[in-house]
Amino acid sequence: MIGSKLPRVGTTIFTRMSALASECDAINLSQGFPDFDAPQALREALGEHAMAGHNQYAPMAGVPALRQQIAAQLDLYRGVHCDPEQEITVVPGATEGIFCAVTACVHPGDEVIVFDPCYDSYEPAIELAGGRAVHVPLDPLDFSINWQKVTDALTPRTRMIIINSPHNPTGSTLSHADLLQLESLAEQHNLLVVSDEVYEHLVYDGQPHHSVLQFEALRQRSFALFSFGKTFSVTGWKTGYCVAPPKLTAELRKVHQFVCFVAVTPVQMALADFMRDAPDYPGSLAAFYQGKRDLFCTMLQGSRFTLRPSSGTYFQLLDYREISALPDTRLCEDWTREHGVASIPISVFYQSPPLDQHYLRFCFAKSDALLRHAAEILCEI
């Protein structure tokens, strides 16, 4: 009998709920993917590069033209200058990049601070590296970080902190002051940082995204992860990138080359072309998705749910405490079967879920017609 290295890990909640939605022919607002097409020029570029024969291995760190376009966009949107050769690595999805960063730097016995509710890929990576995840709960009302709790959680074994902003599953974002607090702690305690910023362009109500790359002391000790899938509505292309200082990049690439080695060549070339020809496209996303958030939230004003509009991502939490006392894990399945709308329970992202929380997560990266239909159903519950 093989002893599992991840005995508590099963099939992800996203896979289970999407499968249930399909089984019940329900509206799938559970898994986070758009139901509309990516830009036509991007899709056409993929076909052109595949048909032109660009189908063999790319350089391990990524196609040079794409890394150059990434550097250009970091300059344009974040005001930071990165070396495409030594600081940017294209990876087959941000999840792989996070795994490689953790595996490269976490040793047996090290502790890594994560924030609950915590995206489900972080802790397995930590455990496989021989480390231990230390869970610090976010504020139960607005899902902000209590930095005193972070300080209290630090020990001589603390090696790394993983942050996620905009935050999945809650839609909260970190402020400039939060990043200054993180910078101070990281310097004081010599900590590494993994910053999951895959929803960087989906920040609403006129607020900016704050990246670790914009804080010099943080930048020198951070892996920042980004996703083309989220930015360009191509989640199935599973392509992202990691930005880190040269020494950390070198360590990440040592692992990356033995996990996936390279990301897909024609995908990278298509992305490079589109980013060159449409550099302003990411800047249009906040208004586009805020329109969908606002539509969904407005349609729910007559419901029995309570909500705080999401600050980022394309997810909206709904508080159902006035409707049911059932646990979220039970309710999301019941409502998928009985009402035909699938969602995600957020208690599964906690080590110890708060007893007084009653939230379900809904994805609003959908057509307006589908969002209206789903909201009409939810208003009748």
Kindly give the interhelix angle for 265-277 and 40-51, rounded to the nearest 10 degrees: 140
pLDDT of residue 10: 85
Q: Residue 85: pLDDT above 90?
A: yes
Question: For residue 98, what are its two tokens?
Answer: 């996070």
Which residues are within 8 A (CB) of 51 and not within 5 positions of it... i.e. 6 or more apart?
none
The strand pair at 240-243 and 222-227 is best described as antiparallel
Is the pLDDT assigned to residue 274 strictly greater than 80? Answer: yes
Per-residue pLDDT tens over the stretch 316-325:
999 999 999 9
Task: Let me know: does 315 contact 363? Beta carbons within 8 Å.
Answer: yes
pLDDT band at 107 (very low <50, low <70, confident <90, very high): very high
Residues 324 and 271 in one domain: no
pLDDT of residue 289: 98
Strand 315-319 vs strand 341-342: parallel, antiparallel, or unpaired?
unpaired
Average pLDDT of the segment spanning 342-355: 94
Residues 51, 187 within the same domain: yes
**What is the rounded distance in angstroms from the CA atom of residue 225 to the CA atom of residue 14?**
21
296 CB neighbour count, 10 Å cutoff: 26
pLDDT category at 349 given cuts 50, 70, 90 is very high
Under the banding of pLDDT at 50, 70 and 90, the label for residue 47 is: very high
pLDDT in tens, 292-333: 999 999 999 989 999 999 999 999 999 999 999 999 999 999
Same domain, 268 and 127: yes
CATH number at residue 332: 3.90.1150.10
Q: How large is the average pLDDT for residues 151-170? A: 98
Q: Using 50, 70 and 90 to split pLDDT, how confident is the model at 357?
A: confident
Given a cut of 70, whether residue 1 has pLDDT beyond it is no
Within this chain, do residues 145 and 120 fall inside the same structural domain, yes or no?
yes
End-of-domain residue from the set 280, 307, 337 = 280
Do residue 198 and residue 116 come from a single domain?
yes
- Is the pTM higher than 0.95? The answer reads yes
Provide the residue range defining the domain that includes 328.
13-38+283-379
Q: Check pLDDT > 80 for residue 9.
A: yes
